[in-house]
Amino acid sequence: MITVIDYGMGNLRSVVKAVEKYTGDVRVSQDPASIASSAALVLPGDGAFKMAMEHLNSMGWTGPLKEYIRGGGVFMGICLGFQLLFSRSEEFGESEGLDIIPGDVVKFRTPGLKVPHMGWNNVALRQESPYLDGVDSGSYFYFIHTYYPEVRDPAWVIGEAEYGVTFPCIVGKGNVIATQFHPEKSHHVGLKIIENFVRKACS
C-alpha cells in the first residue's frame, strides 16, 4: 500500500491520480498509524513551511515520519514535502523542519527575477538514481515555489535547476526521493519518476 499523507496542505488529488496510473494500491491518510501498513509514503503539499510543520506536529506525524524515513522506508516528497525534509526554513520566521537533510530553505533574492519561480525549467542531473531511470538530464519539469534549499551535504543532491541561482531540485539517498517541482504535473517525464517510485515500492 502506498500512502499519500493528508496533513491539510494542498490538493492531493493530482498526486493520487498519478500514482493510480501504475497501481490501485494507494490511499490517502490523516492517521500516522497507517505507516505500519504502508509499503511507501508520499508527502506532497503546497503552502507555507511553518504552517505545514505545525500541522504535522499537531496531527502526530512528525516523529513517526522521521523514524520511517531514517529506518529506510520508501519515501517521496513533492514541492512543500521536499522542503520539509530540510533542517529549517526562513519562511515567516525561522521554523524547524524534519531535519532529514542538513540545510536551510531560503527565499529567492536575485534582482530582476519574478518570484515565485513558476513554470517550466530544465533540470541537470548530478548523479544516478533508480528513481530517475528513463529520465534524461536537461528534461523540463513544472515548478512553482518562492523558496529553495541550501544543502550542506552535496551527497543528497541528485538534480539542480537554475533561476538566478543554481539550486537543488531533486534530492535523495537510499529509498528517499524528493522533488521541488511537481512530477505529477510534468507530463510523461514527471510521470516516469512516479512510475519508478511505484515500482520500487511494490518490488
Predicted structure pTM score: 0.96
79 catalytic residue (yes or no): yes
The C-alpha cell at 100 is 532529514
184 catalytic residue (yes or no): yes
182 catalytic residue (yes or no): yes
The C-alpha cell at 108 is 529567492
What does the pLDDT profile of the chain (203 residues) look like in tens digits?
A: 999 999 999 889 999 999 999 999 999 999 999 999 999 999 999 999 999 999 999 999 999 999 999 999 999 999 999 999 999 999 988 999 999 999 999 999 988 899 999 999 999 999 999 999 999 999 999 999 999 999 999 999 999 999 999 999 999 999 999 999 999 999 999 999 999 999 999 87
Residues 68 and 66: their CA atoms lie apart, in Å, by 5
Which residue, 5, 7, 11, is CA-closest to 144? 11
Annotated catalytic residue, options 91, 145, 182, 195: 182
Residues 147 and 117: their CA atoms lie apart, in Å, by 9
Annotated catalytic residue, options 79, 91, 117, 145: 79
| pLDDT tens, residue by residue, 84-133 | 999 999 998 899 999 999 999 999 998 889 999 999 999 999 999 999 99
- Taken in order of first residue, the domains within the chain and their CATH numbers are 2-202 (3.40.50.880)
Residues 114 and 100: their CA atoms lie apart, in Å, by 30
In terms of DSSP bridges, do strands 40-43 and 2-5 run parallel, antiparallel, or are they unpaired? parallel
